[in-house]
Amino acid sequence: MAHRFDATARARARTAYETLEPMHVLCYFNPGLSAAQADTGLDAYAFYVGARGAPLGECVPSVVSAAFYNFSEDIVHPGWEAAKAVGLDDVARRRDAMLAESLAHVYGDAADPATLTALADRFYAIAARAPMAGRTLASAWAHVPRPDDPAVALWHAVAILREWRGDGHIAALVGATLDRLEAVVFHEARHPDPAIRKRGLGRRMSQLTRGWSDEQWDTAADVLVDRGLLSRSTDDAGKVTDTLTDAGAALYAEIEEITDDSAAAAWADVDDFDDLMASTRPFVKAVIDAGVLPGTKRK
- Write the pLDDT tens digit of every residue in 234-287: 988 888 999 999 999 999 999 999 999 999 999 999 999 999 999 999 999 999
Of 59-73, 100-114, 218-232, least confident by mean pLDDT is: 100-114
The predicted pLDDT at position 299 comes to: 83
Mean pLDDT for the stretch of residues 2-13: 94
Answer yes or no: is pLDDT of 183 > 90: yes
pLDDT classification of 197: cutoffs 50, 70, 90: confident
Answer yes or no: is pLDDT of 1 > 70: no
Return mean pLDDT, the chain.
96
Q: What percent of the chain has pLDDT over 70?
A: 100
The predicted pLDDT at position 283 comes to: 97
How many alpha carbons fall within 13 Å on the CB side of residue 153? 20
Mean pLDDT for the stretch of residues 77-93: 98
Q: pLDDT digit string (tens) for 31-51?
A: 999 999 999 999 999 999 999
The predicted pLDDT at position 58 comes to: 95
The predicted pLDDT at position 266 comes to: 98
Specify the pTM: 0.96
Task: Please state the domain extents for the chain.
Answer: 7-30+112-289
